[in-house]
Structure 1
């Protein structure tokens, strides 16, 4: 197995990533068409030695991150 220490494996936020709810194969990739026990990016890295070339940011995740969060009553803004 190749060393994964320098590689940050993350499929979260990719439009091709999905959760299968199968305990034996909990994560999948629609682009590559497989499900597995490890995150798809980790499987791709172990097989090819390269980062996933098909990572595409999910548009709905971008919208969630760009919305400013509403302050709760009594919350103080410390960002300046």
Structure 2
């Protein structure tokens, strides 16, 4: 992945929605909650795209 490519956390198996209204989005891989999408928090703090992105498994038919 390049640094210009945006990562959609909603499609990552590490993303979760929290009960905290101030920090509604979380990342299990990095272990934090955020107001923004976790991938944006990782990008702003490290300057690199998220390296822990793993696509959710396809739903079983």
* TM-score bracket for this pair, using the shorter chain length: 0.7 to 0.9
Runs of 4+ in 1 over 6 A off after TM superposition: none
Match of 1:18 in 2: 16
Distance 2:55 2:7 in 1: 15
Larger Rg: 1
Picking from 55, 60, 63, the partner of 2:59 is 63
2:46 paired with 1:48: yes
Gaps of 5+ in 2: none
CA RMSD of aligned residues (A): 1.6
Match of 1:77 in 2: none
Aligned residues: 58
Secondary structure of the structure 1 residue equivalent to 2:54: coil
Question: TM-score by structure 1 length?
Answer: 0.64
Question: TM-score by structure 2 length?
Answer: 0.82
